[in-house]
A and B are shown apart, each in its own frame.
Chain A
Amino acid sequence: MTTVRRLAPAPGPIELEVVLAELAAAPVLEPFGDAAVDALDAVARALFRDPVARSQPDLVALASWLRAASLRRLASEARALGLRAPRGLAFHVPPANVEVMAMYSLALSMLAGNRNLVRISSRAGVAAERVCAALEAALTDHPDVRAGTAVLSWGHELEPTELCSAACDVRVLWGGDETVARLRAVPTAPGARDIAFVDRFSMAALEAGAWLSASSRARDGIAAQLYNDAYWYDQQGCSSPRLIVWCGAAQGARRAADGLYARLETAISERGYELPLGAVTGKLAWVAGAAIDRPLERVQSFGNALTVLTLSTLDGFDRDHPGGGTFLQAFVPSLGELAPHVTRRDQTLAVFGFERSELERFAGLVAGRGIDRIVPLGQALRFDHRWDGMDLLSELTRAVAISVEAR
């Protein structure tokens, strides 16, 4: 018997074999049906009632996303996929650094009608704790969903991962390349499949002319949006922008950049964002290394939490990055010049000041290589069921084909 810690429902130590047996016996839910929508709406309400959760923007965003109105929209979109069946048991390994991702992953899979087992990192903090409390409170009134849900935690031992992998029909792996490689080495049943989210790199593009013609207040707003995108996860999220690309005539673009960082510096100090000392010294060493290795023409430091490294070229662009408020920066005449430098690793492009047609042209230029999302600046971290180029609602269900003529 393998003992693990169950965080929700019914928190406490429990044998994993018992959990797996309970999940196997849980009722199968209709994909995109009301049972899951109602249960998740109850989770949303529990989060909104929780004063701690209410004080955390990422939990507030999660709770809004989980509301019935928002999920019904999703469900109707998903019904357009045709006849769908749940895959069965989903085993989720969410990332340790973005704790709320566990609940997004779980919620989509619940909507798909799967039974779910979520492994939460033993290092998890407040966000994971509030999510589990909300699940515990909300699922009491939804026994069918509750019976098919288990949020667990265990240490470094491999055995629980092996048992869950052998039992599941689909494994949802979030995390860095290394974590995913390590987990993928653990065998699953022959028919099971993996949905893996690996290391990604994200960037922001700003149209210099649009910045220069924006009002002072609008510029403050743009700086605040960049702050939200970059600093919320210490610039360590897959979608956190790390490269800033300015498009437009060189002189104006440089003026625009100076204006942006002055405002960003203000936003950082107003919000009291600071890095732990160990991260600051690590960043100093990284920046010195970058000065040696990379084609930089300028390094600007605006205190410990904001460093801007201007590249003289994007040729051979190295995506290694320390996080914590480090921006690589490049100037190009137009967005099209960025396209040749985009690779498979690039995920999100957060934009300001471009015409939609320009963005569509860019998406065409990078098609087949990288960039899975183009979003307005300020929405880089917003969760979407289409992630890393996959529609999770489709990935988490099976397509059922009935090729019998109607009589």
Chain B
Amino acid sequence: MSSVYAVPRAEKEALLLARLSELTEHHRAACPAYGRVLDLIWDGAHGPFGSLEDVPWLPVQLFKTHELSSIASADVFKVLTSSGTTGAARSRIVLDRDSALAQTRTLAAIMSALLGSERRPMLIVDARETLRDRRAMAARAAGILGFQTFGRDHLYALDGEMALRREELVRWLASHSGEPLFVFGFTFMVWRHLLDALSPGEIDLSLAVLVHGGGWKQLQAEAVGAERFRERLREVTGLQRVASFYGMVEQIGTVFLECERGFLHAPAAADVLIRDPSDWSVAPDGSSGVVQVLSALPTSYPGHSLLTEDLGTVHGRDECGCGWLGAAISLHGRVPKAELRGCSDTHAATLPPSGALPEAA
């Protein structure tokens, strides 16, 4: 369909390996803090590496406590901060002009695989006010700002009270009747403020593609998972194509989009390894473990190889029935927070039972 999902495994791994080796050396030279981590924790590991699994990684939480930069402060073009509950530490990611541009371009290429190259009229399932409240709603605001460039003639579906702007929506849909649409929103917002507010058949989104993120956590109490979510979208709006995404501010350009079969795919510029937490070796495809993400993009900060706090499984590489190439993964939630209480029970570094609802962040 498009180039980001059309690079075969061998070719992609060779390109990525060369690029990640080069990035490791680049950041070693440009970011002394990263160099210290390589020296002390990775025994001074040097590229070129023999395989992707040999590329040193950083724990993603490190960006919450340390600002790691490979650029001069004069070249800082943008600082991204992660979402986070009040009080929790947030990641700080520094971008220069080039890396910001590379990320926008890569994300555009990924989105065009789903939406086509023409920009579609875009319905945002949120309120314009969300953008103003940058602190409280950082994740939602950043999501909207990041994705709005992939649509045109934007309509915010909700007002400041999170009520559906029914008349405006109906008018906007009428003006775009027969056109392919792009709907974007956070999973919980779509469920609670769009689907709950509509009766079946009231609006027609059968020509729309929905991109949603933010995870299932808030819907877990109602036992809403991916299946139920899709089903209800179909029933209420006729919308057929739903894609969640997996991405993080620490690797913002290379998001993983959900394919028609329900798997998240690594784009050409990224890859994923699953690590067995008992010894951090790479777990074979099909088994569950801690997700390590690799990205060819980060040049302004050493974020090209990160151990996340997400649990997931690689189901196959270049084998998905949807036709997209690249690792196809599913996620099983976050590594549960553990407060060492000093109690005498022994606890194992094992994975929580699978079967938990998949979560896109």
* B-binding residues in A (CB < 8 A): 56-58, 96-99, 123, 125-127, 232-237, 240, 271-282, 284-285, 287-289, 291-293, 296, 298-299, 301, 303-304, 322-324
Q: Number of contact residues on B: which range applies?
A: 35 or more
Instruction: Evaluate whether A280 and B277 lie within 8 angstroms (CB atoms) in the complex, with A274-B349, A288-B41, A288-B58 already known.
Output: yes
B341 touches A234 (CB 8 A): yes
B345 touches A125 (CB 8 A): yes
Instruction: Evaluate whether A291 and B65 lie within 8 angstroms (CB atoms) in the complex, with A98-B342, A279-B340 already known.
Output: no
A296 touches B61 (CB 8 A): no
A291 touches B343 (CB 8 A): no
Alpha-carbon separation in the docked complex, A282 to B336 (Å) = 11
Alpha-carbon separation in the docked complex, A288 to B59 (Å) = 8
A278's partner among B33, B64, B338, B341 (CB-CB below 8 A) is B338
* A-binding residues in B (CB < 8 A): 33, 36-37, 39-41, 58-62, 64-66, 277-279, 290, 307, 309, 335-338, 340-351
Instruction: Evaluate whether A278 and B40 lie within 8 angstroms (CB atoms) in the complex, with A288-B58, A289-B65 already known.
Output: no
A281 touches B336 (CB 8 A): no
Instruction: Evaluate whether A281 and B278 lie within 8 angstroms (CB atoms) in the complex, with A237-B342, A276-B338 already known.
Output: no
B343 touches A277 (CB 8 A): no
B278 touches A304 (CB 8 A): yes
Task: List residues of chain A with CB within 8 A of the CB of B37.
Answer: 288, 291-292
Alpha-carbon separation in the docked complex, A324 to B342 (Å) = 9
B342 touches A277 (CB 8 A): no
B335 touches A278 (CB 8 A): yes
Known contacts A123-B341, A285-B59; 5 additional CB pairs below 8 A are A97-B342, A236-B340, A277-B351, A281-B59, A285-B61
Alpha-carbon separation in the docked complex, A277 to B340 (Å) = 11
Chain B CB within 10 Å, residue with most, of A125, A273, A284: A284
Residue ID in chain B nearest A290 by CB atoms: B40
How far does the Cβ of A129 sit from chain B's closest Cβ, in whole Å?
Answer: 12
Instruction: Evaluate whether A234 and B279 lie within 8 angstroms (CB atoms) in the complex, with A285-B65, A288-B59 already known.
Output: no
Chain A CB within 10 Å, residue with most, of B65, B279, B337, B341: B341
For the complex of A and B, the 4 pairs showing the least CB-CB separation, nearest first, are A278-B338, A233-B342, A236-B342, A97-B342
A282 touches B36 (CB 8 A): no
Task: List residues of chain B with CB within 8 A of the CB of A322.
Answer: 340
B344 touches A276 (CB 8 A): no
Task: List residues of chain B with CB within 8 A of the CB of A304.
Answer: 277-278, 349
A299 touches B344 (CB 8 A): no
Alpha-carbon separation in the docked complex, A330 to B133 (Å) = 49
A288 touches B336 (CB 8 A): no
How far does the Cβ of B191 sit from chain A's closest Cβ, in whole Å?
Answer: 28
Residue ID in chain A nearest B63 by CB atoms: A285
Alpha-carbon separation in the docked complex, A43 to B340 (Å) = 29
Task: List residues of chain A with CB within 8 A of the CB of B307.
Answer: 281, 284
B62 touches A285 (CB 8 A): yes
How far does the Cβ of A290 sit from chain B's closest Cβ, in whole Å?
Answer: 9
> Please, could you name 23 A-B residue pairs with CB atoms under 8 Å apart, sorted by A?
A57-B344, A97-B343, A98-B342, A125-B345, A126-B345, A234-B340, A235-B342, A240-B342, A271-B346, A276-B349, A277-B335, A277-B350, A280-B277, A280-B349, A281-B61, A281-B307, A281-B309, A282-B338, A284-B59, A287-B41, A289-B66, A304-B277, A304-B278
How far does the Cβ of A344 sit from chain B's closest Cβ, in whole Å?
Answer: 22
How far does the Cβ of A288 sit from chain B's closest Cβ, in whole Å?
Answer: 5
Task: List residues of chain A with CB within 8 A of the CB of B335.
Answer: 277-278, 281
Residue ID in chain A nearest B338 by CB atoms: A278
Alpha-carbon separation in the docked complex, A385 to B309 (Å) = 43
How far does the Cβ of B94 sit from chain A's closest Cβ, in whole Å?
Answer: 16
Alpha-carbon separation in the docked complex, A324 to B346 (Å) = 11
Task: List residues of chain B with CB within 8 A of the CB of A240.
Answer: 342
Alpha-carbon separation in the docked complex, A83 to B60 (Å) = 61
Task: List residues of chain A with CB within 8 A of the CB of B341.
Answer: 96-97, 123, 234, 236
Instruction: Evaluate whether A274 and B59 lie within 8 angstroms (CB atoms) in the complex, with A281-B290, A287-B41 already known.
Output: no
Task: List residues of chain B with CB within 8 A of the CB of A293.
Answer: 66
A276 touches B336 (CB 8 A): yes
B277 touches A303 (CB 8 A): no
B58 touches A127 (CB 8 A): no
Chain B CB within 10 Å, residue with most, of A57, A99, A292: A292
Instruction: Evaluate whether A278 and B346 lie within 8 angstroms (CB atoms) in the complex, with A288-B41, A288-B62 already known.
Output: no
A289 touches B62 (CB 8 A): yes
B337's partner among A99, A278, A280, A284 (CB-CB below 8 A) is A278
